[in-house]
Amino acid sequence: MIGGGKIAARKVKELLAAGAQVKIISPKLIPTLKSIVDSNPINYIPRDYQEGDLAGSFLVIAATNDPAVNQSVWREAQQQGCLINVVDDPQHSNFIMPAMIHRGDLSIAISTGGNSPALARRLREQIENLVGTEYGLLTEIMGELRPELIADILDDDARAQAAYRMIDSDILNVIRTQGKEAALIYGRKILHQR
């Protein structure tokens, strides 16, 4: 990560969540990113980017406010064969990072193909309001009940219908009001209705 601002902080969180080994090069960090660095195994180099900093890197994100620095990072990444994302510059990126929503094991990615990060962010904000934390618990419950579903219902179409019946039921409200264990019992009853 080249940069230490708000965008860098958001991207570093996503990289850490994906299990990446992160190195940050920036003379300064915003407080949020400083807190992330202090509480995670991150290699932080407190200085400006220099030619050669990308040696051994697989994936690079240039998130500085300086177009000249971002272009230097782009050139070196190309020479090193790295995946590179220059934030807000899809022409100088060979991959893009979608706006992400995480609810436990449920992940929702929103991408505009680099055309409008602002639109992707706004859609993420709207969807976050629709998809609350209970969806993470529903994902867990579905995962716990899946082996039973597979063992008990051999027909693929009937199995899919049983899963949809549970998803379309009142289970999210049960999660919100009574918790995971009650929802697991409720879900098991729904799945085995014939």
pLDDT at 118: 85
Give the angle 178-182-184 at the CA atoms, nearest 5°: 135
Give the domain 6-97 fold.
Rossmann fold (3.40.50)
Distance, in Å, from the CA atom of 59 to the CA atom of 84, rounded to the nearest integer, reads 6
pLDDT under 70 in the chain at which residues? 194
- Single pTM value for the model: 0.73
Summarize pLDDT for 39-91 with one digit per residue, the tens.
Answer: 999 999 999 999 999 999 999 999 999 999 999 999 999 999 999 999 888 88
- Of 64, 55, 59, 61, nearest in space to 28 by CA: 64
**Integer Cα distance of 40 and 27 in angstroms:** 19
Q: Hey, what are 116's tokens?
A: 């409008």
Give pLDDT, residue 49.
Answer: 98
